[in-house]
Structure 1
Amino acid sequence: MDTIHIRGGRRLSGSIPISGAKNAALPLMTAALLTADPVKFTNVPALTDVRSLAKLLGVLGSDVQRDGDSVTIVTPEITSTTAPYEIVSQFRASFWVLGPLLARCHEAKVSLPGGCAIGARPVDLYIKGLQKMGAEIDLIEGYVLAKAPGGLKGAVVRSPIVSVGVTHTLMMAATLAEGETVLENAAREPEVSDLAHCLVSMGAKIQGIGTSTLRIEGVEKLHGTTHRVIADRIEAGTYAIAAAMTGGEVTLEGVNAETFDAALSVLRAAGAGVDVQQGQVRIYRNGERLQATNAVTQVFPGFPTDLQAQFMALMTTAEGESEITETIFENRFMHVQELARFGADISLHGDKALVRGVEKLKAAPVMASDLRASAALVVAALAAEGETTINRVYHLDRGFERLEEKLRACGADIWRAKAS
């Protein structure tokens, strides 16, 4: 198993191009199942999850071709409506094929999902939403068996909680349903809007994009399109935090600051400098110690849960005490014990973590528990004295494209040791 090694204490300085968003690319690629025409995506990151989804689409009948950062998907016929456990268990987003399969083929057999161990994230909301649209659903031997013999029907579906995955799935399913579907309390994340815009370019009729109420008028069929994946706001936020952590100056290229404005606001409050220009964000620190700052994870446009671990790493050396509250996932403090190995002073109180800033961190061997926790360990290691070894870096490969290369270009002493 590969390991990443970091000799900390170097200021980051330079520019980092931000890749396409994993959390946008996955639902977009899934949406290609809705049409028999070619669908081309550009700015697609080269990540483990993207490759795994391409494999799953191939099992279902798609021809998936990659050329540089472009991916073209053609599915003239869905040859199998079964998404097998062997693939779906690897990453949660693969479960989203349930919506397009049911919409286009009126049946689907999809394994219950897997992915990072950061909470239960049950699938009952997906099932209840599709049932409201006329689907007959059973759970048998770890699979969701869904049928809609007469096709899906438009319905009003109000989710009791805001869920990105549920919004993705039901929106895709609704594009080919008969009549109008109204999704109330829908997720407003930029990745949801990106999917909606792509579907519209494929011929879907969607109103309310970017709001909590989406109205989808079903159409008979969708056609092909070419669509550019939006920049990854979580990757951008992670590198912004890394720049602040090391006291450096980094310009993030190809980003939309509005998509991670809540994170930038927290960085400003902590004492980091933030300059925003069209397509660029510059993060810098004037040499003074950062100030402890509280953060509460919320659905968009609030502070993202996917940056909670990285921000906690930043607060470990801030002056004073900060309180970080996790409201999205009940098990997303698994990185706390690993940060403590650097000498961080963190105590847990239910859904809150109290971080008492220390003067400096010291390198240690650590182990990643999930994707974002991995990034937090990188942030801590960049500032820690000595050489840190990070194990289980396959988590990082699920969500960060060319991480070592991008950090090295800004002066980090980082390298990967390949498993023998």
Structure 2
Amino acid sequence: MLDGGDDCHPLIPVLIEAGWTVQESPSGSAIISDCDVGLIHLTSDHFEHLPRLEALFVNSPVRWIAVLSASDLRREKIGDFVCRWFFDFHTLPFDAARLHASLDRAFTAGPPPVQGSPSLFSAEPELLGDSRPVRELRRLLSKLAPTDSPVLIRGERGTGKELIARSLHAQSLRRDKPFIVVDCAAPDGQSIHTVLFGHEDGGFDDAQARRVGLLEAADGGTLLLDEVGELPLDTQASLLRFLEDRQIERADGGEPIAVDVRVLAATREDLETAVRKKRFREDLYYQLNVLQVGVAPLRERHGDLALLANHFAHVYSQETGRRARSFSQDALVALGKHDWPGNVRELAGRVRRELVLAEGRQIEAANLGLLGEEDSVGNMGTL
């Protein structure tokens, strides 16, 4: 329990009586590796230092549950952060029985993926939607999946680029082998080169033991380089050599190791501009851009909004144990009015927040935070 404060301390004897061992910390650094589940009381102090808090969760072996005020949760930046990094969340004053149930579910779920952040799209492996962009995307993926060529997946933040990569892997002959995601923008304080290629004993001054890189760990399967444009130039050079000869060399160690892995890359960046500005190697760009997939933003998929919103409502109601709700007509109209700069991830976050904030039987536009965006939704057409 991190920064529990007066709001969370009364929960401790209840948890101990139920069989939990509870450790408290104001910082978390000393106990994270020893725990199965984490509970944190989020306050204004945390919100002023979100990057520092995010560093706590990247590659954390712990499933985290947040407790915070409803007013803080309604703040878009905070709500999106909570939905991105937490297994579940509860608003104050929380129901102790529900919170206890969340802890049990988090423990049963086991540790989160080691690399990267929790995926909002992992609850459903297939690509949802019946809009023209999605139908065309499905057809393209079915053609690209059986090949072993690299694929460059391009799209705005939150469009589901990782889901596209998972779909390619699931339809390929490598489907029974590992699928590993590398967040090139967040190597957790380590060298991204070490994350990818590993090191032998003593490869670095602080290296305690041999480490297998994620390229080697993905042998036989698929590796996704998420936000590949963030790779440092020296790592780009090593990646290019791997793509050319299919061998890796760990730092300070041994013979080259042959690795059979399909490399996919995802980016929201304009890589052509990065190449012109010498921030991305031109030869690596051509190696990765053998095949290309563009993911349409949600504002171009309005015909899918109701389906996606109901899907997330169903998934999150099951995950959190809250009652599922349908969307009111005004809510559906408001969904169509919104421009969705955060794309599918934003939609998922808004739907998840409403499961906490909604009080009636239906989800209203106000619960989604979509009222007051230009004109009233009352005179608009339906989806």
TM-score when normalising by structure 2 = 0.29
- Whose relative contact order is higher, 1 or 2, with alpha carbons under 8 Å and at least 6 apart? 1
The structure that is strand-richer by fraction is: 1
